[in-house]
């Protein structure tokens, strides 16, 4: 498969002036500002195939947004090589801008006081989309996202979930082949999150679009991305299948079970870590290698009515990935 995105030894430093707290210090820094370098990206390399859907995860300040901004041509890198669909993003060629789109959950492009359709129309002109293509794309996106009802209302009157879906219509009206999604589900309720995810999944499949998504919400990543890149303090600490990430870092499994009559929890404590013991439901964390033995022991010693062995919650696993780098 063709490589849609190539990133090699990408470095981004920000120069910031330090501000001091006290009056004299503030005066001092006014006269002689102290410059400090923030190393947001310290040599990041990865590539993404056409049609691939990659999750970029990491703690706050790790450098996720910086990567997406460089890929979409909003920021210049300090060093490094980047190519997206054969283009150098920061040259901002018109044909490149027509190929990509960046959606930021915390920023909006829709005009607040106008209906969303006005922004769509503006984008139609910016991207030079023919009337026919525009009508076709609009109909398709509006149907997929179920936003027919809202698109003629003033944007400020809409809920965050409705607005976010309309943001996506505006961002995708030109049918980009590469999409960068920066925290698209932030602040949305569970139902709105699901609608958005379903749509993004379809867009990826139907247009064979290459997508990089950043999210704090591991449900987004689990649902959408087979491959994840974990970044911490400007460096990649894992790049591979989400499944392998789990196997590598999850040292434990969770046995969830219910019983039909009360049991002695002392016996449980010997087998592993008891996280929940609320008759009739229990959760026991055991080391991966003994999870099957532990389960069969539970089945033989207790009146178990229901039992499943699951992976640790993904958030906890990812937390370990971050701390393993420290």
Ligand X SMILES: Nc1ncnc2c1ncn2[C@@H]1O[C@H](COP(=O)(O)OP(=O)(O)O)[C@@H](O)[C@H]1O
Pick from 58, 73, 115, 184 the residue near ligand X by CB under 6 A: 58
User: Which of 63, 115 has the CB closer to ligand X?
Assistant: 63
Candidate segments 58-66, 144-152, 192-200, 267-275, binder of Mg ion by CB under 5 A: 58-66
| DSSP states of 240-262 | EEHHHHHHHH--EEEEEEEESS-
40 binds ligand X (CB under 6 A): yes
Quick check: helix, strand or coil at residue 281? Answer: strand
Assess 184 for contact with ligand X (CB under 6 A): no
The residue whose two tokens read 């390399």 is 45
* Residues 224, 33 contacting (CB under 8 angstroms): no
Asked if residue 65 binds Mg ion (CB under 5 A), the reply is: yes
Name which of ligand X, Mg ion, none residue 269 binds, using a CB cut-off of 5 to 8 Å depending on partner kind: none
What is the C-alpha separation between 142 and 165, in angstroms, rounded? 9
Among 65, 162, 185, 291, binds ligand X (CB under 6 A): 65
Q: Is 38 in the site for ligand X (CB under 6 A)?
A: yes
Q: Among ligand X, Mg ion, none, what binds residue 112 when CB lies within 5 to 8 Å by partner kind?
A: none
Does the protein bind Mg ion through residue 66 (CB under 5 A)? Answer: no
Q: Which residue is nearest to Mg ion (CB)?
A: 65
Angle at the Cα of 193 (from 189 to 199), degrees rounded to 5?
A: 150
Residues 278-317 that bind ligand X (CB under 6 A): none
Residues 6+ apart with CB under 8 A from 100: 71, 72, 73, 84, 85, 89, 176, 177, 178, 179, 180
Phi, psi of 319 (to 5 degrees): -55, -40
287: β partners: 252
Please choose which of ligand X, Mg ion, none residue 40 contacts, taking the beta carbon within 5 to 8 angstroms, the exact cut-off set by kind: ligand X
Q: Which does 14 bind (CB under 5 to 8 A by kind): Mg ion, ligand X, none?
A: ligand X
Binding site for Mg ion (CB under 5 A): 64-65
Binding site for ligand X (CB under 6 A): 14, 16, 38, 40, 58, 60-66
């Amino acid at each position: 498969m063709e490589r849609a995105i190539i990133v090699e030894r990408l470095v981004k430093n920000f120069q910031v002036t330090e501000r001091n707290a006290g009056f004299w210090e503030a005066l001092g820094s006014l006269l002689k500002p102290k410059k400090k370098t923030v190393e947001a990206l310290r040599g990041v390399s990865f590539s993404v195939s056409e049609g691939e859907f990659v999750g970029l995860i990491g703690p706050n300040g790790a450098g996720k947004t910086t990567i997406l901004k460089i890929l979409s041509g909003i920021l210049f890198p300090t060093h490094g090589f980047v190519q997206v669909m054969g283009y150098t993003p920061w040259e901002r060629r018109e044909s490149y801008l027509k190929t990509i789109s960046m959606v930021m959950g915390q920023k909006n492009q829709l005009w607040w006081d106008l209906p969303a359709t006005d922004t769509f129309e503006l984008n139609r002109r910016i991207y030079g989309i023919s009337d026919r293509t525009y009508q076709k794309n609009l109909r398709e996106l509006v149907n997929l996202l179920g936003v027919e009802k809202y698109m003629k209302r003033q944007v400020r009157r809409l809920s965050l979930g409705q607005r976010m879906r309309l943001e996506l219509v505006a961002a995708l009206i030109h049918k980009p082949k590469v999409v960068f999604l920066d925290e698209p589900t932030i602040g949305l309720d569970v139902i709105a999150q699901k609608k958005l995810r379903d749509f993004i999944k379809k867009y990826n499949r139907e247009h064979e679009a290459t997508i990089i998504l950043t999210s704090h919400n591991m449900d987004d990543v689990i649902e959408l991305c087979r491959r994840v890149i974990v970044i911490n303090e400007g460096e990649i600490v894992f790049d591979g299948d989400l499944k392998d990430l789990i196997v590598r870092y999850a040292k434990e499994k969770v046995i969830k079970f219910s019983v039909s009559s009360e049991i002695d929890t002392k016996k449980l404590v010997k087998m592993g870590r008891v996280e929940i013991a609320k008759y009739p439901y229990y959760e026991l964390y055991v080391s991966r290698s003994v999870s099957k033995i532990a389960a069969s022991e539970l089945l033989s010693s207790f009146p178990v009515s229901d039992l499943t062995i699951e992976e640790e919650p993904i958030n906890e696993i990812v937390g370990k990935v971050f701390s393993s780098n420290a």
